[in-house]
Amino acid sequence: MPNQRTGAQILCEALIRENVEVMFGIPGGAIMPFYYAMWEYRDQLRHVLCRHEQGAGHAAEGYARSTGKVGVCIGTSGPGATNLVTPIADAMMDSTPLVALTGQVSSLVLGKDAFQETDITGITMPITKHNYLVKRIEDIAYAVKEAFHIAATGRPGPVLVDITKDALQAKMVPNWEIKLNLPGYKPNYNGNRKQIREAMRLLTEAKKPLIMSGNGVTMAGAIGELHELAERTGVPVVTTLHGIGSFPENHPQNIGMPGMHGWVHVNRAIQECDVLLNIGGRFDDRVTGKASTFAPHAKVIHVDIDPSEIGKNVKVAVPIVGDARNVLRALIEELPSREALAELHGRASDWLEHIREMQDKHQHKQQYLNRPDTTNLMPHDVYAALTRFLNARGQYRVVTDVGQHQMWAAQLMDWLKPRTHITSGGAGTMGFAVPAAMGVAIANPTDTVWAICGDGGFQMTNQEMQTIMQEGLKNVKVAVINNGYLGMVRQWQELFEGKRYSGTPLSGPNFRLLAEAYGWKGITVERVTDVEGAIETANATDGPVLIDFRVEREVNVWPMVPQGKSIGEMITGTPQA
């Protein structure tokens, strides 16, 4: 019959119907029928052959986080599928819309320890928003439709679709008349009006109010609404690690980042405030420190689309379940009279002045401008030059890996736009940056995409440099902050383990030569006088470039909240500073 399709063809057409533009993956035994079919649709579905499934997953995350669209990654059964587990968990922690497609052994041998059989739906059950084991061709189109709907709606997250090989090989006439039926899945997008009025009452009466902006603001597209609420009330704004970019750092009301490596004045402001409006942040322990001592004087208003997050870590006075954009709009509608608003503005202005005095006292970013007594290249020299350069150019994205360099980037660079700062926050996945930058670069071909890595994380997934080369991505640049240690763990060992550097001294190859082996331009920088020239050369190069910044080895990230301590108990460090 001419209209018959294989399950693999139906899968391709289902993805096209979901407006999928690009997929990141690796073929293998069980998923091979899908790859055979993909050839027919190659003009509509771009496939990026990664060097490891973990890289494919992080690339799909980078694509999703920089666009807000659903990222797609592919693996075969068994090890191909289990290699996707880390990026799936990463996407779950950071609320990234992701659909992972995996091939499964034939349904006839399921449960018989067939070659490359693994129960990937069982493995990923705790780290996916939902997952499917599809054993019949009749269920493929519906499963794909439902998977994309679940991944992108409510609190975004990863969904896995595992399809048996015989379902991909079977044939049928597809039925595209699909009506989703999800009676147990009804995200609440609109906050309760009574609770919104109570939130506005608390905010209006506050003497020391704060707004905390999290990742949910960016994901909901609520940037404009956040600006309007903040500016009409005059309330200072804190941006979490994932909230960076949701409120520009050059705005006079933005006071900076809170948490374990947040600024001293920001953490102290949280400990002093009397009302804290948290929009789209989940109060993770890197923000709160010892949760029972977090914001002890504040009545907390928590806005989150995921009801399970509210009250989980911090006691909440006013819970509001809803989409950040809708709730912010509703809060703006409930703004008080002009007179009451003027009074709030006056109190908020005095409060902001007090915070700025604390900032001046604790030097904020200035602490890094006084160089220590060393001629060695400091990490801060790199960030200062890179920030100057990127601000001048304007059109850029930065993807950071995990560790000291990640915190320095969050602290020291200027973040002015949403979706320009992309990092692994919740899972803290080393090896995230290079493949994620690849996904960002594909999604944003006119932007320069910088991946900032430590020498440890870089060595975990740098094989994707070849994928970047094969795809002809000329807009990717990599900066390795190379200190010869797993730096953040070394810092903990220095501060809390008497400098017993167990398992943290780290060697590596010559990164410049490694880059050249991949066909990239490689640069090594060891002197501060060479930093700007290297960055300018990278920008001027029509192709991917890696710069190996060999920095002072034992530099710490300050301030720091020790594990189990309140955010009011920061170690401010010695002035490197």
Residue with tokens 């995230």: 432
- The residues carrying an active-site annotation are 53, 115-116, 165, 488
- What tokens appear for 199 in the block? 């939130």
Helix axes 338-362, 264-272, angle to 10 degrees: 140
Cα angle at 409 between 324 and 253, to 5 degrees? 45
**Pair 120, 76: CB distance under 8 Å:** no
- Cα dihedral value 464, 465, 469, 474, nearest 10: 120
Nearest to 483 by CA among 431, 430, 529, 526: 526
Three-state DSSP at 123 gives helix
Mean pLDDT of the chain: 95
How confident is the model at residue 375, as a pLDDT?
Answer: 79
Nearest to 331 by CA among 211, 187, 154, 241: 211
Helix/strand/coil percentages in the chain, nearest 5: 40, 20, 40
Which uninterrupted H or E stretch holds 501? none
**Pair 324, 217: CB distance under 8 Å:** yes
Q: What is the chain's pLDDT, residue by residue, as a tens digit (577 residues)? A: 558 999 999 999 999 999 999 999 999 999 999 999 999 999 999 999 999 999 999 999 999 999 999 999 999 999 999 999 999 999 999 999 999 999 999 999 999 999 999 999 999 999 999 999 999 999 999 999 999 999 999 999 999 999 999 999 999 999 999 999 999 999 999 999 999 999 999 999 999 999 999 999 999 999 999 999 999 999 999 999 999 999 999 999 999 999 999 999 999 999 999 999 999 999 999 999 999 999 999 999 999 999 999 999 999 999 999 999 999 999 999 999 999 999 999 999 999 999 999 998 876 566 666 666 677 899 999 999 999 999 988 899 999 999 999 999 999 999 999 999 999 999 999 999 999 999 999 999 999 999 999 999 999 999 999 999 999 999 999 999 999 999 999 999 999 999 999 999 999 999 999 999 999 999 999 999 999 999 999 999 999 999 999 999 999 999 999 989 999 999 987 544 3
What is the β-pairing status of strands 171-172 and 5-6?
antiparallel
Provide CB contacts within 8 A for 73, sequence distance 6+: 23, 24, 25, 53, 56, 57, 59, 60, 84, 87, 98, 99, 100, 101
Three-state DSSP at 76 gives coil
Nearest to 78 by CA among 103, 56, 57: 103
Residues facing residue 525 across a β-bridge: 549
How confident is the model at residue 332, as a pLDDT?
Answer: 98
Kindly report the pTM of this predicted structure: 0.96
Cα angle at 48 between 43 and 52, to 5 degrees? 160
- What tokens appear for 568 in the block? 């009011």
**Pair 573, 556: CB distance under 8 Å:** yes
Longest dimension (CA), the chain: 79
Give dist(CA 101, CA 162) in Å, integer. 6
Which uninterrupted H or E stretch holds 278? strand 275-279
